[in-house]
Amino acid sequence: MTELASADRSIIDLPKELKDDLIQIGSALPAWSVEDTFLAEPTIVEYRDKLRAAHLFDDFRSSLLSTLNDPTTGYAVVRLGDIVRELGSGEDFLRLATAILTEIATPFQPFQRWPLWKELGTNLNANPGMSTGTGYNAFHMDVVNSTFPPDYSTLLCVRPDPLGAGASILSNARAAVSRLSLSSRDLLADVAYRYGSFFDLANVGKEYSPFPILDGEPDNRGFVRFTAKMLAESELDEKHAQAARELAEELVAGQVSYRLLRGDILIVNQHFAVHGREPLAEGQHDVVPEDRRLLLQLFLRDRTTIGSSAS
């Protein structure tokens, strides 16, 4: 098998031969169609057929899936910078990125008012800790307050922070939980936690409030339903708040960071890992809006559980 990962196996670089094939494929992929917030099956079939004709693509897919489903990691960064330099960051590149993600699971957008790829720009007036803000975005999983969150969350970097900051942070939530005391884990299993509102969402089940942080399901099916924001924005009794704070501390202790570059795709398996962001650099007011950090977000649903997502 051709080696596709760097010394850090979570960063997946592609060999030149595969990049060259993907550039050719990306310039010829048709527009996608969507059915009930999911990428339509005919689109998936066509995209996958074209990708699998590429040299070395099977090796790439195997490496990516192995990394994402490794319970000791649960995330990967796919480096497509050379490809985006050739294709640009417009429709051709987005189709190729979408096609690559179909090899993991089915792309979908649970936020019904947004297109398949949701823009996460830099808003100087937003709460600094939000996804579009400029401050520290603490560890969290996406759509934490639903009965059936997305299996994977992905972020595509269109523009990094031009001032050099804003690295993405990741932590293996299962490993963090394993370092807690049994009494803390028992508290985290209580249906005692709340965060956020729930509206205009599809294919993520029902609102789940309150919810347990530890749901008792097997690791590859359940979630560590954590968002650090609930420590400040929900009413918790002291013992449950303390258990959540201990988990937050362990997540920080085990964190890694990656400064996403143009064309990078960060993929997070939400059954194993949580993510966040370090602050952007000071001086964002001096950066013109069209040059500020811009990510695109898309979610993935495991094909074997699509029918369950509406329940």
Encode pLDDT of 4-31 as tens digits: 444 588 999 999 999 999 999 999 999 9
Tell me, yes or no, whether 228 lies in a domain: yes
Tell me, yes or no, whether 3 lies in a domain: no
Residue 310's pLDDT is what? Answer: 52
CATH of the domain at 82: 3.60.130.10
At 283, the pLDDT band (50, 70, 90 cuts) reads very high
At 303, the pLDDT band (50, 70, 90 cuts) reads confident
> Among residues 86, 118, 115, 80, which one has the least CA distance to residue 100?
80
Assigned token pair, 297: 């977000």
Tell me, yes or no, whether 138 lies in a domain: yes
Tell me, yes or no, whether 201 lies in a domain: yes
User: What is the overall mean pLDDT for the chain?
Assistant: 94
H helix and E strand count, the chain = 9, 13
The residue segments making up the domain with residue 227 are 11-308
Omega of the bond prior to 149 within 30 degrees of 0, cis?
no
Tell me, yes or no, whether 6 lies in a domain: no
pLDDT in tens, 95-125: 999 999 999 999 999 999 999 999 999 999 9
Assigned token pair, 95: 């189709």
Q: Name the residue with higher pLDDT: 305 or 1.
A: 305
305 pLDDT higher than 90: no
* Total count of domains within the chain: 1
Pairing of strands 168-172, 273-277: antiparallel
Pairing of strands 11-12, 75-78: parallel
Tell me, yes or no, whether 100 lies in a domain: yes
Tell me, yes or no, whether 175 lies in a domain: yes
Tell me, yes or no, whether 162 lies in a domain: yes
At 188, the pLDDT band (50, 70, 90 cuts) reads very high
Judge if pTM exceeds 0.85: yes
